Amino acid sequence: MNFLKREPLIILIAGRARSGKSILAECLKEEYRKQNKKVVMSPYTKYLKHYIEEITGEKIQEENKPRDLLQQISSEVIKGQLGKKNFFIDRQIEDIEIYSYFADVILVPDVRFPEEIKVIKEKFNNVVSIGVIRKNYISTLSLKQQTDITEVALDGYHDYDFEVENTEKTNLYDIAKDIINKINLKEGIPNE
């Protein structure tokens, strides 16, 4: 196997909990795979979830996600007590550097802080950011979870390459296709 470093497209997807970030990422992955692109999904929180699985001995699924514990370990332990404010960003940079030998597209489906966009855009050339909003969505998170820094850090942030509204799941497939077409046009790639 030849290990040739590429310059993959890095797509950062930002938004609040249950805004549709993961679904949009899956739609983008599906569309890029139809174009025979090698796609890697690289969430910021993968290490956090891994730590919690090792600590609790429980596999984390969307329906049993211990959001309070995720928020506490991230904010209070990693960024607070350990003082590692760029822990997740630094890990993501390392992962992108490794994936750059294998992937055409790297999707980061869980951006929650402006720095997670800014630093990646400063470090890599081929980066696109997408903000996903879901107007009129009534959150099922507790008030404490809704007001956690991981939920509110991007409030008022609009410096995305694309800002999209999630109105329904099928709408996200059309949005994904539209974004890919616009990215391709910008890069001079013919749309299929």
Number of domains in the chain: 1
Reply yes or no on whether the pLDDT at 70 is more than 80.
yes
Q: Give the chain's mean pLDDT.
A: 88
Name the phi and psi angles at 74, rounded to 5. Answer: -65, -55
In a domain, 149, yes or no: yes
Residue 105's nearest CA partner among 25, 162, 47 is 25
In a domain, 146, yes or no: yes
In a domain, 26, yes or no: yes
In a domain, 190, yes or no: no
Q: Indicate which CATH number applies to the domain containing 76.
A: 3.40.50.300
What's the average model confidence in pLDDT over 13-29? 92
Name the phi and psi angles at 48, rounded to 5. Answer: -60, -45
Reply yes or no on whether the pLDDT at 63 is more than 80.
no
In a domain, 50, yes or no: yes
In a domain, 3, yes or no: no
In a domain, 85, yes or no: yes
Residue 27's nearest CA partner among 188, 176, 145, 144 is 176
Sheet with strand 127-133: strands edge to edge: 39-41, 105-111, 9-14, 127-133, 162-165
Distance between CA 52 and CA 79 in Å, rounded?
16
The reported pTM is 0.89
- E-strand ranges in 60-189 read 105-111, 127-133, 162-165
Reply yes or no on whether the pLDDT at 96 is more than 80.
yes
- What range does the domain containing 47 cover? 9-184
Reply yes or no on whether the pLDDT at 11 is more than 60.
yes
In a domain, 35, yes or no: yes
